[in-house]
Amino acid sequence: MTHGLKLVLPMAGRGVRLRPHTWSRPKQLLTVAGRPFIRHVLDRLDTLPPALPREYVFITGPGGDRLEGYLRAALPDRKVHFVFQPGPHGQSDAIYRAREHLTGPLLMVFPDTLVQTDLGFIRDRPSEAVVMVREVPDPEHFGIAQVGPDGRVQRIVEKPRSKDHRLAVVGYYYFPVGEAFIETIEEQLVNDIRTGDEFYLADAVNLLLKGGLPMRTVRVDTWYDGGTVAGLLETNAFLLENGSANFYEPVELDGARIIPPVYLDPSAAVEGSLIGPHVSIGAGCRIVNSVIQNTIVEAGSAITASRLKDSLVGERVTLTGVTGIISAGDDSFFSSDL
């Protein structure tokens, strides 16, 4: 490679599937297994060949200042660029705004998805375009890569009705020549190829494929969607089971019982409670006389006399006497007395 690899992460989406949590924070800063979701995504990018020079290009939207602050601190020794997308006009629009940085090979990563894979294919076959996929039983809710008899991608189809092709696109694309990709997006914009107000990346990729770009698939076995509460909880459970917990054995702790796997921040206080399995509790939390299962409780929250499962509790939330499933945004208050 004559250029370093550009890692492009479009993050300007409004996160409507995760409200009320995304009213106060970008979805990439919501916590799973004790750390912001975006931190786990960045860790997966460490499977890139160590000797490969790389730059990060982050595309943020309104309210992205907090995200930029976190990312600069998380990547102190990396070259990073930030580009602003003012409105929800789609992924192609976002990438085109970053065009001055996108020379040479680029890897595009949608940072609300988490995959487990080895990215060494970029070192081994750097001149081939790649879309990363996973086979799904029902393709109608996904973008699907249609592959021909020669193993090459023929077309990307959004939410197909047919089940003839079932390779779902997991949110990673590699293009060996960024300039050619930008030229194709410009063609898409000039010809107003969009759906509603959004310019979809799939349409740009299809223009490249129609123009003769050879693209192959790389399959992944592990893929989690961090764009919904259910997806975050599934991701949290997976991470806790695979190295992110700090409790892997049952234990009695200050009158509380921990059922692993659980991540409990060292500064959190738990009394007279049953915690786990698949629970993450953030810094400064206080849990008293409660049962919490398959739930994320973010920093600074207080839960008393409650029974929670399958729940997402934001930062600085107060819950008293609450039972069942709850999705509580930052700085909210719920009590059975109200």
Instruction: Give me the sheet containing 262-264, strands edge to edge.
Output: 262-264, 279-281, 295-297, 312-313, 327-328
Kindly state the percentage of the chain with pLDDT values over 90: 69
Q: What is the pLDDT of residue 338?
A: 53
Q: Mind listing the domains of the chain with CATH numbers? A: 5-229 (3.90.550.10), 245-335 (2.160.10)
Q: 């698939």: which residue's tokens? A: 217
What are 242-273's pLDDT values in tens digits?
Answer: 999 999 999 998 789 999 999 999 999 999 99
Region 191-195: mean pLDDT is 90
Q: What is the pLDDT of residue 141?
A: 83
Is 3 or 108 the better-scoring residue by pLDDT?
108
103, 143, 145, 169, 219 from 203: Cα distances, Å: 21, 11, 12, 14, 22
Burial 117-139 (b: 16+ CB within 10 A, else e): bebebbeeeeebbbbbbbebeeb
* Residue 277: band (very low, low, confident or very high) from pLDDT cuts 50, 70, 90: very high
Query: CA 338, CA 336: separation in Å to the nearest integer?
Result: 5
**Above 80 in pLDDT, residue 3?**
no
3-state SS class at 122: helix
What are 72-98's pLDDT values in tens digits?
Answer: 999 998 999 999 998 888 899 999 999
* Residue 117: band (very low, low, confident or very high) from pLDDT cuts 50, 70, 90: confident
What's the token pair of residue 150? 């020669």
Region 12-36: mean pLDDT is 89
| Mean pLDDT rounded to a whole number for the chain | 91
> Which pTM value belongs to this model?
0.91
Q: What is the pLDDT of residue 87?
A: 82
Q: What is the pLDDT of residue 31?
A: 95
User: Of 21, 65, 31, 67, which Cα lies nearest the Cα of 283?
Assistant: 31
* Residue 1: band (very low, low, confident or very high) from pLDDT cuts 50, 70, 90: very low
User: Of 23, 36, 66, 35, which Cα lies nearest the Cα of 329?
Assistant: 23
